Amino acid sequence: MSTPATAHPTKRDQAERAMRHSWFPVARSADLETPQSAVLLGERLVVFRDGSGTARVTARRCPHRGADLSQGVVNDGSIGCPYHGWEFDGADGTCTRVPSLADQSRIPSRAAIRAYPAVERFGHVWTVLEKPVVELYDPVEWRDRDLVWLAADPLDSPTGVAAAIENFRDVAHFPFVHKVSMGPTPEVVEPLEVRRDGVDVFMERRLDASSGDWAAQGDCLMSYHCSAPGFASISYHYEQAGLRVVAGFPSPVSYEQVRIFWGVANERDFKGDSLEECLRVEEMVYLEDMPVVEHLQPREVPWDAEVPEFSVPADLFTLNYRRAFGELMNRTERLLAGEHTPARN
- Among residues 329, 257, 261, 248, which one has the least CA distance to residue 299? 257
Q: Does 179 bind ligand FES (CB under 6 A)?
A: no
Query: Toward ligand FES, which CB reaches closer, 24 or 86?
Result: 86
Question: What are residue 219's phi and psi, to 5 degrees?
Answer: -60, 145
Q: Which of 84, 179, 280, 295: binder of ligand FES (CB under 6 A)? A: 84
Instruction: Say which residues have a Cβ less than 8 Å from residue 289's Cβ, sequence separation at least 6.
Output: 167, 173, 177, 178
Q: Which is nearer to Fe ion, 122 or 174 (CB)?
A: 174
Query: What's the burial of 276, exposed, middle or buried (CB within 10 Å: 0-12/13-18/19+)?
Result: exposed
Q: Which does 334 bind (CB under 5 to 8 A by kind): Fe ion, ligand FES, none?
A: none
Residue 125, CA distances (Å) to 56, 66, 128, 251, 261 in order: 8, 25, 11, 12, 10
- Which of ligand FES, Fe ion, none does residue 83 bind (CB under 5 to 8 Å by kind)? ligand FES
Q: Select from Fe ion, ligand FES, none the partner in contact with residue 67, using the beta carbon and a kind-dependent cut-off of 5 to 8 Å.
A: ligand FES
- Number of residues engaging ligand FES in binding (CB under 6 A): 10
**Binding status of residue 87 toward Fe ion by CB under 5 A:** no
Handedness of CA 177, 247, 264, 146 (dihedral sign): negative
State which residue, 61 or 322, has the beta carbon closest to ligand FES: 61
Partner residues linked to 257 by β-bridges = 254
Does the footprint of ligand FES cover residue 111 (CB under 6 A)? no
Q: Shortest approach of ligand FES to residue 36 CB, angstroms?
A: 18
Within 285-324, the residues that bind Fe ion by CB under 5 A are 289
- Contacted entry of Fe ion, ligand FES, none for residue 86, CB cut-off 5 to 8 Å set by kind: ligand FES
289 interacts with, out of ligand FES, Fe ion, none, CB within 5 to 8 A per kind: Fe ion
In sequence order, the 6+-apart residues with CB closer than 8 A to the CB of 228 are: 18, 199, 200, 321, 324, 325, 327, 328
Task: In the chain, count H helices and then E strands.
Answer: 6, 19
Q: How far is CA 27 from CA 30, 120, 128, 149, 215, in A?
A: 8, 10, 13, 14, 31
Per rule CB under 6 A, is residue 81 in the interface with ligand FES? yes
Cβ atoms 65, 39 nearer than 8 A: no
Residue 83 touches ligand FES, criterion: CB under 6 A: yes
CA 106 to chain CA mean position, Å: 41
Q: Which of 41, 19, 22 is nearest to 303 (CA)?
A: 19
Interaction mask 61-80, ligand FES, x per CB under 6 A? -x-xxxx-------------
Nearer to ligand FES, 85 or 117 (CB): 85
Instruction: Estimate to the nearest angstrom the gap between the alpha carbon of 309 and the chain centroid.
Output: 26
At its nearest, how many Å lie between ligand FES and the CB of residue 111?
Answer: 9
Binding flags for ligand FES, 34-63, as an x/- string (CB under 6 A)? ----------------------------x-
Choosing among Fe ion, ligand FES, none, which partner's interface includes residue 179 (Cβ < 5 to 8 Å by kind)?
none
64 contact choice in ligand FES, Fe ion, none (CB below 5 to 8 Å, kind-dependent): ligand FES
CA geometry: angle at 164 spanning 223 and 7, to 5°?
110
User: Residue 344: which of Fe ion, ligand FES, none does it interact with, CB under 5 to 8 A by kind?
Assistant: none
Helical H segments across 146-207, by residue range: 161-169, 174-177, 179-182
101 binds ligand FES (CB under 6 A): no
Report the residue number, 96 or 159, with the smaller CB distance to ligand FES. Answer: 96
Residue ranges binding ligand FES (CB under 6 A): 62, 64-67, 81, 83-86
